[in-house]
């Protein structure tokens, strides 16, 4: 159960389903609304939508049971990917409900949806037969922010190491050094700091280049910042649709992947970049320190410190080739198949209870 779309959670759900079907599991996916884009649905995976009544109930903070819900919410294992709207109505009392926590930190996203989700996690997470988080950082969040004292399994997401590889041409290469960020143009991603940093890097490297791939509400604000800093030659924001087939070519065209996010439970682009042999420059918050430390494929800078960010970007990009093997090797440990194998162990544990 989850958001089956081109997003972090969507890609996790999609690839998990594909690998479960390959293991001969019977898999159904419940999607909250038809607005979510369904792509590459695994053959043999049933997809069903909850009714419009369920979606509209967001306005009232509740959930009206529908015929779709009653006929489809069943199975030996109910693997719930954190849609807060339906969390309170899960059949916890029957066992077999697994909560997969992808992150919902109300300190950094103070909107109604996140606040509601946080309340549901506090109230219902401990009822789950098992809990999975996407990083050690996310596990600490559950324990410290939501007071969850249940056993928690940490299972990193995966990456397609056949599509994201070191053998790709640098088709979209621009500038030297060249940096890439992939993600939504929203406040928590702090892309404005990346722009400030590339302006600093440019002082000693006039051809330095930053490419951002994503869409979101901060586009016009970021565009104005680019103009104000005279960065038109040194930056590009790609807001047009980039297919999963083309995306690896953008990674192949940079020297390093860089992020300024103020909070990140786990960023799939980090693994995608490493699978392409690219080092990662990440802030000293969220899951970045643990991933960069484990992989030895990049460096952490002091979060919110633009000068330290710019200095770290320059340093890592100048030694990018030295990180190639470490980055690739780390990604190979975290394929979608490996993720599925670890999740399957949780399924077996729950089934034996």
248 and 312 co-located in one domain: yes
Q: How many domains does the chain have?
A: 2
Domain assignment of residue 240, yes or no = yes
Answer yes or no: is pLDDT of 114 > 90.
Answer: no
More confident site: 116 or 153: 153
339 and 280 co-located in one domain: no
More confident site: 287 or 116: 287
Q: What is the mean pLDDT of residues 208-233?
A: 97
Domain assignment of residue 42, yes or no = yes
152 and 219 co-located in one domain: no
Q: What is the mean pLDDT of residues 264-282?
A: 97
The DSSP line for 216-268 is -TTHHHHHHHHHHTT-TTTEEEE-S---TTTHHHHHHT-SEEE---S--S--H
Give me the CATH number covering residue 322: 3.40.50.2000
Report whether the peptide linkage leading into residue 339 is cis, meaning its omega lies within 30 degrees of zero: no
Residues 127 and 325: their CA atoms lie apart, in Å, by 43
Domain assignment of residue 128, yes or no = yes
Range name among 10-14, 32-36, 112-116, 251-255 with the lowest pLDDT average: 32-36
137 and 184 co-located in one domain: no
Answer yes or no: is pLDDT of 176 > 60.
Answer: yes
29 and 118 co-located in one domain: yes
344 and 317 co-located in one domain: no
Domain assignment of residue 204, yes or no = yes
Containing structural domain, residue 233: 178-332
Model confidence pLDDT, tens digit, residues 151-174: 999 999 999 999 999 999 999 999
pLDDT at 1: 40
| Number of neighbours of residue 52 by Cβ within 10 angstroms | 12
Identify the band that residue 314 occupies on the pLDDT scale cut at 50, 70 and 90.
Answer: very high
Answer yes or no: is pLDDT of 27 > 60.
Answer: yes
Identify the band that residue 5 occupies on the pLDDT scale cut at 50, 70 and 90.
Answer: very low
22 and 154 co-located in one domain: yes
Q: What is the mean pLDDT of residues 31-60?
A: 62
State the pTM of this model: 0.91
């Amino acid at each position: 159960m989850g958001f089956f779309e081109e997003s972090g959670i969507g890609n996790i759900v999609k690839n998990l389903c594909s690998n479960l079907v390959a293991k001969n599991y019977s898999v159904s996916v419940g999607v909250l609304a038809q607005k979510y884009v369904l792509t590459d649905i695994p053959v043999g995976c049933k997809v069903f939508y909850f009714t419009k009544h369920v979606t509209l109930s967001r306005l009232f903070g509740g959930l009206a049971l529908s015929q779709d819900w009653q006929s489809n919410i069943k199975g030996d294992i109910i693997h719930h990917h954190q849609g807060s709207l339906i969390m309170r109505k899960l059949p916890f009392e029957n066992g077999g409900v697994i909560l997969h926590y992808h992150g919902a930190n109300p300190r950094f996203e103070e909107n109604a949806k996140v606040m509601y989700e946080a309340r549901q996690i506090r109230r219902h997470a401990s009822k789950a037969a098992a809990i999975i988080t996407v990083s050690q950082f996310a596990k600490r969040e559950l324990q410290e922010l939501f007071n969850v004292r249940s056993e928690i399994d940490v299972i990193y997401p995966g990456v397609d190491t056949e599509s994201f590889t070191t053998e790709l041409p640098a088709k979209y290469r621009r500038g030297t050094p060249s940096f890439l960020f992939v993600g939504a143009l929203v406040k928590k991603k702090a892309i404005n700091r990346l722009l400030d940093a590339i302006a600093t890097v440019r002082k000693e490297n006039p051809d330095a280049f930053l490419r951002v791939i994503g869409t979101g509400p901060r586009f016009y604000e970021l565009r104005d910042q680019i103009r104000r800093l005279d960065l038109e030659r040194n930056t590009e924001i790609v807001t047009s649709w980039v297919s999963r087939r083309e995306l690896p070519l953008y990674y192949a065209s940079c020297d390093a992947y860089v992020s300024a996010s103020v909070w990140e439970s786990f960023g799939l682009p980090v693994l995608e970049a490493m699978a392409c042999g690219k080092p990662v420059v990440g802030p000293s918050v969220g899951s970045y320190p643990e991933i960069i430390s484990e992989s030895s494929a990049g460096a952490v800078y002091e979060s919110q410190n633009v000068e330290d960010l710019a200095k770290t970007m320059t340093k890592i990009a100048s030694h990018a080739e030295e990180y190639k093997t470490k980055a690739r090797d780390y990604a190979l440990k975290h394929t979608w198949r490996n993720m599925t194998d670890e999740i399957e162990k949780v399924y077996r544990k729950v089934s034996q209870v």
